[in-house]
Amino acid sequence: MAIPPDPIDTVLPKATAAVVAEVTRIVAQDPQKPLPRVKEGTTDVPGQLARQVVELRVKEAIFGQAPAAGGTLQAEKPAGEYTLAPGNQGPFLLAGRAGPGAKPVILGRYGPDTYPVDLIKARLAKHGKR
């Protein structure tokens, strides 16, 4: 059985930026560990899908230090319950990383369609985000 998305009030405090963006390309993807064999028709497969580094084309910077509309950034999608593909779009909550070549990490369990933009914007003040 799939686990529901993390509540926005759990994820948003960890975010250092948020953007509405589209995945333009997969920069890198770790090798996929074999997933367990399941019966035909199974919709929930245990296991994690591979970590990816993706390029995002920003449509709107919601808060934090992020490129303006039209800019791009690379972000890490950790191993987890989903993968991204070019054309995926929506709001991305990001947690910054320090150091040379570091990329922000995409937060949330299920990708850019987990939290509506209006919900993110409505909760910014509650969590001290601008």
Which range has the top average pLDDT, 68-77, 97-106, 107-116?
68-77
Residue 98 pLDDT grade (very low, low, confident, very high; cuts 50, 70, 90): low
| Residue 45: per-residue pLDDT | 66
| Residue 37: per-residue pLDDT | 78
Residue 129 pLDDT grade (very low, low, confident, very high; cuts 50, 70, 90): confident
Residues 1, 106: Cα–Cα separation, whole Å: 23
How confident is the model over 45-93, as pLDDT tens digits? 667 889 999 999 999 999 998 899 999 999 999 998 889 999 999 999 9
Domains in the chain (CATH in brackets) are 8-30+48-127 (2.40.50.120)
- Asked whether 84 and 25 are in contact (CB, 8 A), the reply is no
Q: Where are the beta strands (DSSP E) in 1-130?
A: 17-29, 52-64, 72-77, 89-95, 105-106
| pLDDT reading at 1 higher than 70 | no
Q: What is the mean pLDDT of the chain?
A: 89
| Residue 39: per-residue pLDDT | 81
Identify any residues that bridge with 55 across adjacent strands, giving them in sequence order. Answer: 25, 74
| Residue 44: per-residue pLDDT | 67
